[in-house]
Structure 1
Amino acid sequence: MKLYFTITCILLTLLSCKKDKKDTIALDYAYIGGEIINPNTKYIVLSKDETVIDTVDLDGRNRFIYKIDKLNDGLYTFRHGGEYQLILLEQEDSLLLRLNTLDFDESLVYSGNGGKKNNYFINEFIKNEGEEKYIVELCQLDGETFQKRVDSIKASKEKALENFANKYEPSQLFLRIAKANIDYSYYSSKEAYPFMHYGKNKAAVLKSLPDNFYDYRKDINYNDSFLIHNFNYNKFLRSNFNNLTLETHDKHETNACYDRKSLCYNLDRLKLIDSLILNPTIKDDLLYHFTMGYLSRNKNIADNSKLLKSYLEKSKSEKGKKMMSRYTINSNVLKEGSRIPNIKIINYKNNVLSLASQINSPTVLSFWSHKYRKHFKETHFKLKELKIKYPEVTFITINMDDSDLSKSKKFLESNGFYSAEEFKFKNPEESLDILAIYPMTKTILVDKNKKIVNSNTNLFSVHFEEQLLGLINR
């Protein structure tokens, strides 16, 4: 609390001195400062729209303060130890934050000028995370009842925003972002309904919905540059294109049903994105997301080539096209029966080893990153369970980050997961490429002869233990 008091006094003094000179001139800079408890690194990274502004060092007490000159009002990102969160900064803000890395989002609190609006956003973010499971439950209701329930949730959020606005009189920028978060969270829930609903025939589920279920679509801006980096907007677009594609797919495929593995469905989706999206950033993001999702699951080389061709014809991102082409080649190489690539890994005694040398029994390869703490914990708890049930299997877990070895070791130890089967890639970028690691949940099964049995499964799949028994019995 001494830090907060000291920095607040300094900032208030600076701001009030400036205002005394000329009250009518708005400041074109802002301050951000704070304290990181249990830091994973000695710095934070501040960025805007994926462009890094600066790396800010923590002092001896794990505190920092930073001035942003010529501030452009809007959402900024601060990152620390693989975790990140968005903050809204506007001219004249002097924002302070405090967090504990052991419980990053839940412990995050703001104070100072700009604190109230950012506390609003972090509280909404945490509520939305908890709301996701409830929405899945609601999706099992009939369409009309579901609509009433989500309408009620939206109305409650709008009332809370109205109360906040009446009390604190925030800027129009804040209100625009907050309203967009509410709207697109609501739209995403409705777009997800057919796919979360228990019915297998998704086209039939769509046809059963009330006539006004998707009335909001007529007001959607598919090229909203203001919301390019908004999580709820992007989540909505992905779900929306699943729906729209299903509707177009149903028109030319008899008895069409939702099958994300269907080449025809995926080709239709890329075509629809290309026709509706004009903004190159939004278009390339959607094309990349859906193409990568298909290629990461599909093992038919001919179909992969057809979808890749469609992607290359539509994307304008040269970087994306190079990455997708390389990924497709490497995915096709990792077919069943091929030998596991001889990638270099490092153990936590700092010894460089070959991956193949560590495989002398049925083996499960899984991967993790500091950036995805929830996945890290869920994966390691699952592995603990599997190691007890299947002692004849070797479970090798590899950190994917391009970071210091001691950082990963400390992270494993602090969470109680350190073991002899934990490694890091010696050359992360090259290794991720060769093993075509996407998505993060990808798991590779290898037999005792170092031959790939399954190049892309998932620890949490309902079929995983069946696949594991097949590996053991080979």
Structure 2
Amino acid sequence: MNIKSPLIVFLAILTFLSCKKETNSLDDVYIGGQVVNPGSEYVIISKNDKDLDTLYLNENNRFSGSLKNIEPGLYVFRHPPENQVMYLEPGDSALIWVNTLAFDESINFSGKGAYKSNFITNIYLLNQKNNDLILSYYKVEPIEFAQKTDSIREVRLQELDQLNQKKDLSEEFYQLAKTSIDYEYYDLRERYALLIHKYQREYIDKIPGDFHDYRENINFNDEQFQDYYVYLNLIDDYVRTISVEYCNENNISRDSCSNLMSVENIKRRILITDSLIQNKNIKNPFLEKLAAQGIIFSNNLEEIESILKLIEEINYEGNALPDLKQMADIQGSLLPGNKIGELKLVHTNGETVQLKNISKKPIITFHWSIKEQVHHKLAHKLITDLRFKYPEINFIGVNVDKGQNEIWKRVTKNNSYEPEFEYKLDTVRVKESLLKNYLNKMIFMNASGEIIKGDVQLNAPDLETIILEFISQRNR
């Protein structure tokens, strides 16, 4: 759909909502908007992992509805497979315009109280950009990096204070926004510390004594942020850093101690997470993610079993154990030496083929999901470069989403991914919440589908060295 003026849409919706206010409580929250290039027929409003309302798109891809008796706080606007957080208080109206081709970058909130959602979304987008900042600054000395993060935090707080002066923010929102800025600041320091302990160890002794003083202020059971990426990313990075600090503090030099995808390191992070977090809604997703990663990157049946045993020993109270056991069975079939040539894949042309019939060259598969936009764009960019460098290898993209075949084809086309190399799992036997753990996994195999190596990460710093070794083995 070609939208000439999103403002016209918002004015129409605003008129509708103004009429609705005459017959409804002034504390109701009115929600409306438009989705350009929709990927599904509805949007969902949720909070703390509970769906509050489903609003269906009309023939013009517009939606409208209302929420009653809400509490101030963060809510999630979902248009499967995408989502973004927004902040709502009683009496607000949320008018949302978004283009799915650039969901996070295009989403815009209008209406009463919209400045709160736009501020929180902007913090999220800035946090995403911090990936590039970290790569630019992690080689500088700790004192200089500390000054950089102090400066970033000060700018964010000044922006919040300016917004407060203009809008007279509620105390609830002001404190939530300030805490989100703090969490971004904490996360920057955790990510820097992780890189220092892994790649710039000569800087470890130069880290100031007060560099991590903020750790005392982290609330690992902050229920109001359990849907917020910045907060969840902080917890994830904190646990990673602690696991690597353990290796250095105990003079453990073996790679398996600090390798974040080694079973040894993942088991340590499971124990750290279990002791750190009491809130089950926050703890269980982390435990499930770590257990899934441990299974996926296991090199033998003993390692797989050790992950399941640990999850049972810590008295995990979630519902994913059957799925983890299913993943364990799947991983057992993906160990080196096993043959998966009979695996059925769906090509972008709609044809179902067996993996062994795809190529006469050795194959390396990489995996992606339409739900992880940033990841699949970076992955395909990397793979395009590798295809050029190593034409003797057939790099195959495998989409792991359940169903959604038409959306997968559209995303492939819209991003100009090479259709001849794009496939989709014919049958997905794992829960969607666990699928994302496959996204950094690559599988090296010969043309018949015999697995040569199955524990390689897409973001491994020595990926090209591993590929060259794979090519060398084939030529012997």
**Is TM more than 0.5 here?**
yes
Q: Which runs of 4+ in 1 moved over 6 A?
A: none
Alignment of 1:35-434 (within 5 A): 35-197=34-196, 200=199, 205-246=203-244, 258-260=258-260, 265-340=265-340, 342-429=342-429
Q: After superposition, what is the alpha-carbon deviation per residue over 1:203-237, rounded to whole angstroms, capped at 9, x for unaligned? A: x7555322222222233333222332332222222
How far residue 31 of structure 1 moved from its aligned partner, in angstroms, is: 1.2
Q: CA deviation at 1:247?
A: 5.0
8 A contact 1:81–1:370 mirrored in 2 = no
List per-residue Cα deviations over 1:168-227 (Å, max 9, x = no partner).
Answer: 01222322221111111111122222222276475x755532222222223333322233
**Cα gap change, 1:359/1:52 in structure 2, threshold over 3 Å: closer, same or farther?**
farther
The CA distance in 1 between the partners of 2:35 and 2:404, in whole Å, is: 20
Residues 42 and 57 in structure 2, CA contact (< 8 A), matched pair in contact too: yes
Query: Per-residue deviation at 1:70?
Result: 3.2
Q: CA deviation at 1:81?
A: 4.7
Give, in angstroms, the shift of residue 253 of structure 1: 5.3
CA contact (8 A) 2:361 2:446 kept: yes
**Match of 1:427, as an amino acid?**
T
Tell me how many residue pairs correspond in the alignment.
465
CA distance in 2 between partners of 1:101 and 1:42 (Å): 13
Deviation of 1:3 (Å): 2.0
Residue type of the alignment partner of 2:214:
Y
Query: CA separation in 2, counterparts of 1:264 and 1:110?
Result: 45
Quote how far apart the aligned CAs of 1:365 are: 1.8
Higher deviation after alignment, 239-248 or 104-113:
239-248
SS in 2 for 1:181: helix
The answer to whether structure 1 residue 3 and structure 2 residue 9 are counterparts is yes
Change (3 A) 1:382 1:239: closer
Using the TM superposition, give the Cα deviation of residue 149 of structure 1 relative to its aligned residue in structure 2, in angstroms: 1.9
Report the counterpart of residue 4 of structure 2 in structure 1. Answer: none
Would the aligned equivalents of 2:198 and 2:244 in 1 still touch at CA under 8 Å? no
Change (3 A) 1:123 1:280: closer
TM-score by length of 1: 0.87
8 A contact 1:369–1:401 mirrored in 2: yes
Identity of matched residues, %: 27
CA offsets per residue over residues 250-272 of structure 1, 9 Å max, x none?
56556687443566554444333
CA contact (8 A) 2:109 2:117 kept: yes
Q: Using the alignment, how far apart are the partners of 1:243 and 1:324 within structure 2?
A: 25
Q: Provide the residue aligned with 1:23 in structure 2.
A: none
Measure how far apart 1:304 and its partner are: 4.0
- Match of 2:111, SS? strand
Taking a change above 3 Å as real, the CA distance of residues 67 and 163 of structure 1, as seen in their structure-2 partners, is same
RMSD: 3.0
How far the C-alpha of 1:85 sits from its partner, in A, is: 0.8
Deviation, structure 1 residue 313: 1.2
Deviates more, 1:115-124 or 1:380-389: 380-389
In the alignment, the residues of structure 1 paired with residue 68 and residue 467 of structure 2 have an alpha-carbon distance, to the nearest angstrom, of 56
Runs of at least 5 residues in structure 2 that lack an aligned partner in the other structure: 1-6
Question: 1:86 deviation in Å?
Answer: 0.8
Q: Residues 198 and 45 of structure 1: is their aligned pair in 2 closer, same or farther, counting only changes over 3 Å?
A: same
1 CA distance for matches of 2:278 and 2:402? 35
User: What is the identity, as a one-letter code, of the residue corresponding to 1:193?
Assistant: Y
C-alpha distance in structure 1 between counterparts of 2:412 and 2:289, whole Å: 30
How far apart are residue 316 of structure 1 and its match? 2.4
Quote the offset at 1:276 in angstroms.
3.3
2: CA distance between counterparts of 1:365 and 1:2? 46
Q: Distance in 2 between matches of 1:382 and 1:268?
A: 30
Contact 1:249–1:268 at 8 Å: present in 2 too?
no
Preserved CA contact (<8 Å) 2:355 2:449? no
Residues 69-107 of structure 1: CA deviation (Å, up to 9, x unaligned):
333332222222522111112211111111222222222
Q: Report the equivalent of 1:22.
A: none
Hey, what's the Cα distance between the residues in 2 that align with 1:287 and 1:227?
Answer: 18
**Structure 2 CA distance for aligned equivalents of residues 383 and 201 of structure 1:** 27
2:252 and 2:400 map into 1 onto residues whose CA distance is 44
**TM-superposed deviation, 1:296:** 3.2
The code of the aligned residue for 2:213 comes to D
The answer to whether the 8 A contact 1:362-1:394 is kept is: yes
Residue 429 of structure 2 aligns to a residue in which SS?
Answer: helix
Pick which of 464-473 and 318-327 moved more. Answer: 464-473
TM-score between both structures, scaled by the size of structure 2: 0.87
Contact 2:85 2:227 in 1 (8 A): no
Question: Aligned partners of 1:445, 1:271: CA distance in 2, in Å?
Answer: 31
Classify 1:200/1:4 alpha carbon distance in 2 versus 1 (closer, same or farther; 3 Å): closer
Q: Quick check: 285-294 or 77-86, which moved more?
A: 285-294
- For residues 255 and 368 of structure 1, the distance between their equivalents in structure 2, rounded to whole angstroms, comes to 33
Structure 2 residue identity aligned to 1:222: F
